[in-house]
Amino acid sequence: MLKKAVEEILVRQIEREAYSSNLYLAMASWAETNGFGGVSEWMYAQAEEEKIHMLKFMKYVNERGGKAIIPAIEQPPFDFANVQEVFEKTLEHEQFVTESINEIVGVCLEEKDFTTHNWIQWFVTEQIEEEASVSGIIDKLKLLNGQNLYMFDRDVVGMRGAVPGSQQ
């Protein structure tokens, strides 16, 4: 059975994962309508992954005797200056999500909910990979300095989930 503080912070994360999915859908739409098919595909895949994360939180809360609540979701931004801004906003958002996951870890430890603490570790690792992947993409964009985005757009889908220095 979930303690109230743990249930509340997990339900908050359901909203954050839903927002993440919508944010990446907005970015995908921007990219698609601006001729960046590869970036769009990357963002659509990212949006789907965030939806799956939301569902994991919902199922966990319900399985542990809590009640997953489906929240209203704030409209994300939908217009961006360029591809560089899209990925910088993505990194900024992933860093926010990392902090949110860390807050959950903290509540689990305070409440001595070691079952949820163990379960949330998957998300801790996932956030390390998310931030590293997006940071690597931003590094590539900086190398391009706004030039040759055609090749970047063609290749970006293959960079999804690729963590610099990993064995993937």
Residue 168 forms part of a structural domain: no
**8 annotated among ligand-binding-site residues:** no
Residue 145 forms part of a structural domain: yes
Reduce the secondary structure of the chain to three states and give it as a string.
CCCHHHHHHHHHHHHHHHHHHHHHHHHHHHHHHCCCHHHHHHHHHHHHHHHHHHHHHHHHHHHCCCCCCCCCCCCCCCCCCCHHHHHHHHHHHHHHHHHHHHHHHHHHHHCCCHHHHHHHHHHHHHHHHHHHHHHHHHHHHHHHCCCCHHHHHHHHHHHCCCCCCCCC
Residue 65 forms part of a structural domain: yes
Residue 25 forms part of a structural domain: yes
**50 annotated among ligand-binding-site residues:** yes
Residue 7 above 80 pLDDT?
A: yes
Residue 126 forms part of a structural domain: yes
pLDDT in tens, 108-143: 999 999 999 999 999 999 999 999 999 999 999 999
pLDDT in tens, 70-123: 989 999 999 999 999 999 999 999 999 999 999 999 999 999 999 999 999 999
Instruction: Provide the CATH number for the domain around residue 88.
Output: 1.20.1260.10
Q: What is the pLDDT of residue 166?
A: 39
**Angle 37-63/83-110 helices, nearest 10 degrees?**
10
**53 annotated among ligand-binding-site residues:** yes
Which residue range is the domain that position 66 belongs to?
A: 4-70+80-159
- Within 8 A by CB and 6+ apart from 78, the residues are 26, 29, 30
Domain tally for the chain? Answer: 1
**74 annotated among ligand-binding-site residues:** no
**63 annotated among ligand-binding-site residues:** no
With a pLDDT cut of 70, the percent of the chain lying above it is 95
Residue 164 forms part of a structural domain: no
Residue 115 forms part of a structural domain: yes
Residue 47 forms part of a structural domain: yes
